[in-house]
Chains A and B, each alone.
Chain A
Amino acid sequence: MSEIKKFMYVNRKAPYGTIYALESLEVVLIGAAFDQDVSLAFLDDGVFQLTKDQDTSGIGMKNFSPTYAALGDYDVTKIYVEKESLEERGLTLDDLQHLTYEDEDDDWAEKDSIRLVTREELARIMDEQDVLLSF
Chain B
Amino acid sequence: MLHTVNKSPFERTALQSCLGHALDGASVLLFEDGVYGALKGTGVSGEVAEAMGRVKFYVLGPDLRARGLREDRLIDGIQVVGYDGFVDLVTSHDNVQAWL
Which residues on A are within 8 Å of B, measured CB to CB?
A: 13-18, 44-45, 48, 51-59, 61, 63, 65, 88-90, 95
Interface SS, B side? loop
CA distance A90 to B6 in the complex (A): 19
Interface size class of B (residues with CB under 8 A): 20 to 34
Give 5 A-B pairs besides A45-B36, A54-B65 with Cβ atoms closer than 8 angstroms: A16-B33, A44-B10, A44-B11, A52-B68, A59-B62
**Contacting pair A90 B62 (CB below 8 A):** no
CA distance A101 to B8 in the complex (A): 31
CA distance A2 to B20 in the complex (A): 56
Residue on B nearest A55 in the bound complex, by CB: B65
Partner of A56, one of B8, B43, B61, B66: B66
CA distance A70 to B8 in the complex (A): 28
**Contacting pair A16 B43 (CB below 8 A):** no
Residue on B nearest A50 in the bound complex, by CB: B68
Query: For window 31-50 of chain B, which residues contact chain A by CB distance below 8 Å?
Result: 32-33, 36, 39-43, 45
A-B pairs with the 3 shortest C-beta distances?
A58-B62, A17-B33, A90-B41
Complex A-B: 27 CB contacts under 8 Å: A13-B11, A14-B8, A14-B33, A14-B36, A15-B67, A16-B63, A16-B66, A16-B67, A17-B7, A17-B32, A18-B33, A45-B8, A45-B10, A45-B11, A45-B36, A51-B68, A51-B69, A54-B67, A55-B65, A55-B68, A57-B65, A58-B63, A58-B66, A59-B63, A65-B68, A88-B42, A90-B73
